């Protein structure tokens, strides 16, 4: 069974550009989460989808971040425009009421 | 939410038993204790979860005293591949809630 996958694994962009991260959860998992770790900090929750609905987006840092999960399958996280402080590793996780399974993360570098 | 405190780092020789203790003085009645493991360039991975006393699986044991204000993750006979960061999390059991990661404990296994 395929685990949670994320694309791309790495992304290097310049300040002011737009980047879109993608997460494919484990098939059948209704819950999808985004987390991130910025340099030197702890892993922080960003938001939680239940199917296509945003259950909790209290961790989204500002309106430059937009997450979608159309159709309740894969999810995208867009950062527009990217700032230097957005650099870090973005993790996606999915669950079906039990443990959360994490993807390998996308390392975002904003120059 | 209950705050957790754990050592920043630990070193151990191969073949030894490693015990990592986590303090969570403000744990709530409904909270469970969950440990995640994270290898470099990977997302966190669920290891074990417990509510009280002792839980054991094929990877580790989790010891929780009666007052539940602390817990100890025990890794038997560690190998080099157990080098990772170990996170102690406290929260509701269901996977339909976001996770709050602390700083974690960086375990280094030495040959």
CA B15, chain centre distance (Å): 19
Q: Give yes or no for a contact between A90 and A108, defined as CB atoms under 8 angstroms apart.
A: yes
Tokens of A14: 């310049």
pLDDT, one tens digit per residue, over A63-100 is: 999 999 988 899 999 999 999 999 999 999 999 978 89
Residue B49 at interface with chain A, using a CB cutoff of 8 Å:
yes
Whole-number Å distance between alpha carbons of A7 and A1: 18
Point out the residue among B43, B94, B100 whose CB comes nearest to the CB of A91. Answer: B43
- The neighbouring-strand residues paired with B48 are B35
B51: Cα within 13 Å, side-chain hemisphere: 7
CA B100, chain centre distance (Å): 13
Classify B81 as helix, strand or coil. helix
Which chain B residues touch A4 with a CB distance below 8 Å? 43
Whole-number Å distance between alpha carbons of A72 and A51: 4
pLDDT, one tens digit per residue, over B30-84 is: 899 999 999 998 999 999 999 999 999 999 999 999 999 999 999 999 999 999 9
Burial code (b: 16+ CB inside 10 Å, e: under 16) for A48-86 equals bbeeeeebbeebbeeeebebebeeeebbebebeebeeeb
Q: Give yes or no for a contact between A100 and B91, defined as CB atoms under 8 angstroms apart.
A: no
Tokens of A46: 């960003």
Q: Give yes or no for a contact between A77 and A99, defined as CB atoms under 8 angstroms apart.
A: no
pLDDT higher than 90, residue A37 = yes
Whole-number Å distance between alpha carbons of A104 and A65: 20
Which chain B residues touch A103 with a CB distance below 8 Å? 43
Residue A12: CB atoms within 10 Å: 13
Residue B96 at interface with chain A, using a CB cutoff of 8 Å:
yes
Is the CB of B44 less than 8 angstroms away from the CB of A59? no
Classify A103 as helix, strand or coil. coil
Tokens of B82: 């157990």
pLDDT confidence of B95, banded at 50, 70, 90?
A: low
Whole-number Å distance between alpha carbons of B62 and B37: 14
Which pLDDT value is given to residue B51?
A: 94
pLDDT confidence of B96, banded at 50, 70, 90?
A: low
Residue A7 at interface with chain B, using a CB cutoff of 8 Å:
no
Q: What would the mean pLDDT of A22-46 be, rounded to a whole number?
A: 93
Whole-number Å distance between alpha carbons of A102 and A83: 25
């Amino acid at each position: 069974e395929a685990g949670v996958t994320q694309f791309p694994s790495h992304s290097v962009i310049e300040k002011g550009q737009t980047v879109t991260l993608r997460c494919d959860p484990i098939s059948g998992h209704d819950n999808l989460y985004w987390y991130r770790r910025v340099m030197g900090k702890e892993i922080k929750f960003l938001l939680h989808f239940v199917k296509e609905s945003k259950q909790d987006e209290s961790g989204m840092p500002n309106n430059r971040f937009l997450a979608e999960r159309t159709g309740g399958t894969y999810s995208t996280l867009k950062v527009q425009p990217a700032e230097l402080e957005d650099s870090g590793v973005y993790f996606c996780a999915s669950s079906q009421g039990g443990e959360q399974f994490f993807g390998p993360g996308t390392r975002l570098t904003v120059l | 939410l209950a705050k957790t405190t754990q050592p920043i780092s630990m070193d151990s020789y191969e073949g030894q038993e490693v015990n990592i203790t986590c303090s969570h003085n403000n744990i709530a009645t409904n909270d469970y204790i969950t440990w995640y493991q994270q290898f470099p360039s990977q997302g966190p991975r669920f290891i074990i979860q417990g509510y009280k006393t002792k839980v054991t699986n094929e990877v580790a044991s989790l010891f929780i005293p009666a007052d539940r204000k602390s817990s100890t993750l025990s890794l038997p006979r560690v190998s080099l591949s157990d080098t990772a960061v170990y996170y102690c999390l406290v929260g509701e059991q269901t996977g339909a809630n976001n996770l709050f990661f602390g700083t974690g404990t960086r375990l280094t296994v030495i040959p």
